[in-house]
Amino acid sequence: MVARVQLPQAAKRGEVIEIRIAIQHPMETGFRFDLMGKAVPKNVINSLRVRYNGAEVFRAELGSGIAANPYLQFYTVAEASGEFVFEWVDDAGERGSETAAVAVT
């Protein structure tokens, strides 16, 4: 699974920063049929968790209503220099993760 994350490399303490993540995933709804008429099993990224220096700052539960290649964006307050860890898992059990660092002054 390919994913891209984007957040400012440097921020001032107390500043609200924007965090964006895009994940390449088909987000199969389970309602589609292949060319042979067989149902394609549902496979969506069902949860995404973001931790900032160990503390959870964002969590999302995704379903079949989310389009392929989901893109999420949220805001948090820059408190200390450290690392954002993004983790997600899909219905097939495949896990993905990505990290990004921010320097807070």
> Which residues make up the interface to other proteins (CB under 8 A)?
2-4, 6, 20, 22-24, 26-27, 67-69, 71
Q: Which is nearer to other proteins, 36 or 67 (CB)?
A: 67
Quote the tokens at residue 103.
Answer: 């320097």
Q: Which is nearer to other proteins, 16 or 67 (CB)?
A: 67
We find the least distance from the C-beta atom of residue 6 to other proteins, in angstroms, to be: 5
We find the least distance from the C-beta atom of residue 25 to other proteins, in angstroms, to be: 9
DSSP state of 91: T
The beta strands (E) that lie in 12-78 are given as 16-23, 45-52, 55-61, 71-77
* 8: number of Cβ within 10 Å: 15
Quote the tokens at residue 52.
Answer: 């900032």
Q: Which is nearer to other proteins, 2 or 92 (CB)?
A: 2
We find the least distance from the C-beta atom of residue 24 to other proteins, in angstroms, to be: 4
We find the least distance from the C-beta atom of residue 56 to other proteins, in angstroms, to be: 23
Rounded Cα gap, residues 62 and 81, in angstroms: 29
